Amino acid sequence: MDGWWKKNPYYVEFMVHEATALFVAAYAITLLFGLIRLGQGPEAWNGWLEAMQSPLSIIFHLALLAGFVYHTFTWFKLFPLTTPPIVINGKKLEPCAIVGGGWAAAIGAAVVSFVIVWGIAA
């Protein structure tokens, strides 16, 4: 059974999608360490912030971002296959509308988050 999923492109994409969940977990752990450092006081927090600005950390975060984008892309691509049919005015919603709605919600949430963070930081 070794590599059975490699024979079907759908399964390959699914397995890569599942593997990118590790990127999500790595970022959650990174943020958790930040919260722990925040709770330990200003010196610990500033040390964590300094570590997050190192070139290695920036490369790490860019890799995480790439994993997140792929994970999000494949997640929204699966939406029409995993949700019950959405009917509006007697017509079934097209898969591209469901995927587009997911992307619009994700981008909207990201923009709102950036505005809030930038507003607090300013």
- Is the CB of residue 87 less than 8 Å from the CB of residue 46? no
| Entry pTM | 0.71
Q: Domains (ranges, CATH) in the chain? A: 4-121 (1.20.1300.10)
- Nearest CA to 68 among 94, 106, 122? 106
- Is the CB of residue 16 less than 8 Å from the CB of residue 66? no
For the stretch 55-82, pLDDT in tens is: 999 999 999 999 988 988 888 888 888 8
Q: Is the pLDDT of residue 1 over 80?
A: no
For the stretch 23-42, pLDDT in tens is: 999 999 999 999 999 999 99
pLDDT of residue 5: 77
Count of CB atoms within 10 A of residue 75's CB? 16
- Is the CB of residue 98 less than 8 Å from the CB of residue 80? yes
